[in-house]
Structure 1
Amino acid sequence: MASALLTLRALSIPLLRVSLGVVFVWFGALKITGTTPVADLVAGTVPWLEPTALVVGLGLTEVVLGIAMVIGRQVKWVALLVAAHLCGIFLTLVVQPSVAFQTGNPLLLTMTGEFVVKNLVLLTAALVVMAAAVAPVEADRR
């Protein structure tokens, strides 16, 4: 059992890092190719920027960050940038509350609201990857 736990510990953070990277590349590629279903949501969240350039720019940023996560170099800095990017997504809840909440109630999420709030998990994953890169966890000595 202890051996399985050690193996799980050795694999879980790299798998989390790579899976987060794959998700970022995938979502970014959809934005670059103009096939993302969230283009209007993104454009509506930052209405002072030109929509197409914004969506493509975010897509390029996501692809670069995703590739960097998969490669695994300078992980603490890349994970920090991923976390910062994910924090920006929550701007939707402030700028477009009518698309995120049913009848203005922050406890009643719309499908869009759920889409945005689920990014808490991705944000936490980025923080875990960053923390592991800064201070790798030692195996329990029990």
Structure 2
Amino acid sequence: MPLSRKLERIDRRITRWLADNSLTILRVSLGIVFFWFGFLKFFPGLSPAQDLAGRTIEVLSFGWVEPALSLPILATWETLIGLGLISGLFMRGTLFLLLLQMIGTILPIFFFPQEVFVRFPYAPTLEGQYIIKNLVLVAAGLVLGATVRGGKIVPEASVAEQAERLEAKLRP
């Protein structure tokens, strides 16, 4: 068998494996991140984001919810998101909590721009980088959200095209 055919077979196997497993890997790894970062917030001083998160919630609540109360709630919230993602249970609810939490993480850009940027809008501080990286978490959540009704990654374009043709025939 020529080398090019062997490489093609290997490439197809790898692509099939990725299509079969990457969503689970994405879901579990995202869950680990949320669980880990949430769990750290239960212990004062361990989360680098806790001060900014506490002050953001305080501003959002017009001063009614102080960081001493909001951080354990946020820790529980993030830990539950992590457990939901790791287990794959209650995915719609888990992803809804993730979306709300991600909206909250963007707010410091507007509430505390002097802490988020060294030079607005192009030179973020470490806290700003922490917030900006959340775009990747949002994108991962969107990908997972696209699969809650059983969607899958299709390893071959021809299979996707066949599914689209079938779907078009079934539409009223």
Do the structures match in fold with TM over 0.5? yes
Whether the 8 Å contact between 2:28 and 2:86 is mirrored in structure 1 is: yes
- 39-48 vs 123-132, greater mean Cα deviation: 39-48
Task: Give per-residue Cα distances to partners, 1:30-63, cap 9 Å, x unaligned.
Answer: 0012221222111222222211111111001111
Structure 2 CA distance, aligned partners of 1:37 and 1:45? 14
Answer yes or no: is the 8 Å Cα contact 1:42–1:55 preserved in 2.
yes
Contact (CA 8 Å) 1:83, 1:127: kept in 2 or not? no
Query: Relative contact order (C-alpha < 8 Å, sep 6+): which is higher?
Result: 1
Say whether the 8 Å CA contact 1:44–1:96 is kept in structure 2.
no
CA RMSD, Structure 1 to Structure 2 (Å): 1.5
Say if 2:26 is the partner of 1:10.
Answer: no
CA–CA distance in 1 between the matches of 2:146 and 2:92?
7
Partners in 2 of 1:83 and 1:16 — Cα distance?
A: 16
**Could you say which structure has the larger radius of gyration?**
2
Q: Which residue of 1 aligns with 2:97?
A: 81
Give the TM-score, by structure 2 length.
0.76
1:29 partner letter: F
Deviation by residue 1:82-124 (Cα, 9 ceiling, x = unmatched): 1221121000101111101124x11221111111111111111
Any unmatched runs of 5+ in structure 1?
none
Corresponding position of 2:4 = none
Give the 4+ runs in structure 1 shifted more than 2 A: 137-142
SS at match of 1:102: strand
Number of matched pairs: 141
- Offset, 1:141: 5.4
For 1:20, the aligned partner's letter is L
Q: How does 1:1-142 map to 2 (within 5 A)?
A: 1-34=11-44, 35-47=46-58, 48=63, 49-103=65-119, 105-137=120-152, 139=154, 140=156, 142=158
Identical aligned residues as a percent: 30
- Is this contact kept in 2: 1:21–1:65, CA < 8 A? yes
For the structure 1 residues 113 and 130, does the alpha-carbon distance in structure 2 shift closer, same or farther, using more than 3 Å as the test? same
Residue pair 1:87, 1:123 contacting (<8 A) in 2 also: no
- Letter of the 1:42 partner, please give it: A
Q: How far is the alpha carbon of 1:135 from its aligned partner? A: 4.9
What amino acid maps onto 1:98 in structure 2?
Q
